[in-house]
Structure 1
């Protein structure tokens, strides 16, 4: 693990942080550098991934309050410990880490030491640990095993990671997505078949043909919209599992309960809220990368500077060709 380097010097002056000030608008501020309290570490943030969950606040719904806290919305950070508060053990200044935080759109963040994981030397590049942990937990909750027929709807970051993990264990993956670049990524990640996400009934017919009308033992819905959820229920096999990995936070959904009930399926909500479970997922993802079972490089596609967070959020919303995950370089 990375330990304190002899030439590491903690910062002593100011930090920079981004605040979202209105729908689609940001401000970069220089602020006093905070001191860690008992049980806390201060982290010099190297970078932070941009999560699709940021897009609803970015659009300015009625419930959103502006401006955000400094660095707010950023929760996919990685960096290097800059200072440690009283009582912190097992972590030291200079050590490279990931963490569960909420203010990583900044050059520095204070974090409870219990929410921090060391990064091994083998992971030297960008590493937004929180979304990798989310994807790992989706895979673990799905129960995907050797020989399973698996459909993954939506090949963004989560869908691509789950495709790779499922293929690794010997599952036959059918990847369903709307963009050519996403389908190409799915094949790179080990998908056996790809299906363009265009027409509802045509997709069902194609999946039926690919599976000899048995459909799929596991279907992972990773889009977070009504139509993909409807589609997922139509292509899961009788007695199969429908895994909800998409971000459904924009209001109520309707489901075809008659279909779900008749098929006798298990419905799994793969979102985790327990911090220890989230950290365990990150640790599992780190082990998968160290073992060569997962490569972060093809997934972190668009880099932005901290003061261009607005452009990074717009890109995450608009999904230019080839985008899997945007990230901002903070340090």
Structure 2
């Protein structure tokens, strides 16, 4: 048996003993050390009109890492005892099963470190889709875990980053990760004027929207220069969106929905993220700010929604 979180109803999570999963052909079982909490967990946790309950045991947890403790038939290159990050989807539990081709080995340089690999892989893939070049000005709307990592990657590529976020501590984080300029996200038109002043009136060659709400998407479209690219990195899952196609048409902008679904691309991003953290290019220490045991997973999701002081990202850890 194992302990697993089950979403029984809106904002109602129970920790229940369930059967430990067994790996099938081509699969491995991972004894989880931890699992990151994603902002995309918030809406399902609160309940949506299309929600059904109860959820799967361990469901919503998709940022897990740990050690392989069982290997199914027809698996090569992976062994019991290997420490890995995985693209699996029931990791708010002590164990999860993953396809062997959805698992990436963690090098010794990451021993003892928490490693929510899936969102880091997403950041690498979003950065690639953004096509950021040296000398460009890049606005990033929303500085949390994802926005901070993208700030580092864009700065490293030689771009000038303008970070836009609500909280001063988020703007301070963006500065620490390389942002050249910061703009408080408070008034729509004041932000537009501030970015115009910083870009000689032309706007930004690249704008990354990393919030997942209507207003930040509206704002991001306004900030893109003519012929620039709007990159949608926020996860818009709480309803339809309206966009100003007249403005987008007039400016002739490219729009990239940077959520990858191709498995090979997702794994490439995960491996690139492992290399980036292991080499020291990305420092996770300032980003993984809050840690919770499994029995407090509901509190971890609530903190992800409410963002208490000092919050960037929560992880659920297993003893």
TM range (shorter): over 0.9
Instruction: Please state how far the C-alpha of 1:40 moved relative to its aligned partner.
Output: 1.1
State TM-score, norm by structure 1.
0.94
Tell me the residue number matched to 2:20: 33
Q: Does 2:193 match 1:200?
A: no
Instruction: Please state how far the C-alpha of 1:26 moved relative to its aligned partner.
Output: 1.1
Q: How many residues align?
A: 318
Instruction: Please state how far the C-alpha of 1:112 moved relative to its aligned partner.
Output: 1.2
Instruction: Please state how far the C-alpha of 1:80 moved relative to its aligned partner.
Output: 0.3
Q: Quick one: distance in 2 between partners of 1:40 and 1:153?
A: 39
Q: Deviations over 1:126-173 (max 9, x none)?
A: 000000000111101000111110000000111110000001111000
In structure 2, list runs of 5 or more residues that go unmatched: none
Instruction: Please state how far the C-alpha of 1:34 moved relative to its aligned partner.
Output: 2.6
Tell me the residue number matched to 1:156: 144
Tell me the residue number matched to 1:315: 303
Instruction: Please state how far the C-alpha of 1:24 moved relative to its aligned partner.
Output: 0.9
Q: Quick one: distance in 1 between partners of 2:301 and 2:154?
A: 29
State TM-score, norm by structure 2.
0.98
In structure 1, list runs of 5 or more residues that go unmatched: 1-13
Which aligned pairs between 1:288-299 and structure 2 lie closer than 5 A? Answer: 288-299=276-287
Instruction: Please state how far the C-alpha of 1:217 moved relative to its aligned partner.
Output: 0.5
Q: Does 2:54 match 1:61?
A: no
Tell me the residue number matched to 1:24: 11
Greater mean deviation of Cα atoms: 224-233 or 73-82: 224-233
Instruction: Please state how far the C-alpha of 1:185 moved relative to its aligned partner.
Output: 0.4
Tell me the residue number matched to 1:129: 117
Q: Does 2:58 match 1:76?
A: no
Ranges of 4+ aligned residues in structure 1 off by more than 2 Å = 31-35
SS in 1 for 2:108: coil
Tell me the residue number matched to 1:243: 231
Superposition CA RMSD, Å? 0.9
Which aligned pairs between 1:138-287 and structure 2 lie closer than 5 A? Answer: 138-287=126-275
Q: Deviations over 1:282-325 (max 9, x none)?
A: 11111112222111111111100001001001101111122111
SS in 2 for 1:312: helix
Q: Quick one: distance in 2 between partners of 1:194 and 1:138?
A: 21
SS in 2 for 1:287: helix
Q: Quick one: distance in 2 between partners of 1:145 and 1:250?
A: 33
Tell me the residue number matched to 1:98: 85
Q: Does 2:48 match 1:50?
A: no
Q: Quick one: distance in 2 between partners of 1:259 and 1:142?
A: 20
Q: Quick one: distance in 2 between partners of 1:172 and 1:127?
A: 28
Greater mean deviation of Cα atoms: 250-259 or 299-308: 250-259
Instruction: Please state how far the C-alpha of 1:35 moved relative to its aligned partner.
Output: 2.2
Tell me the residue number matched to 1:3: none
Contact persistence 1:105–1:330 (CA under 8 A): no
Q: Deviations over 1:202-224 (max 9, x none)?
A: 00111110111121010000011
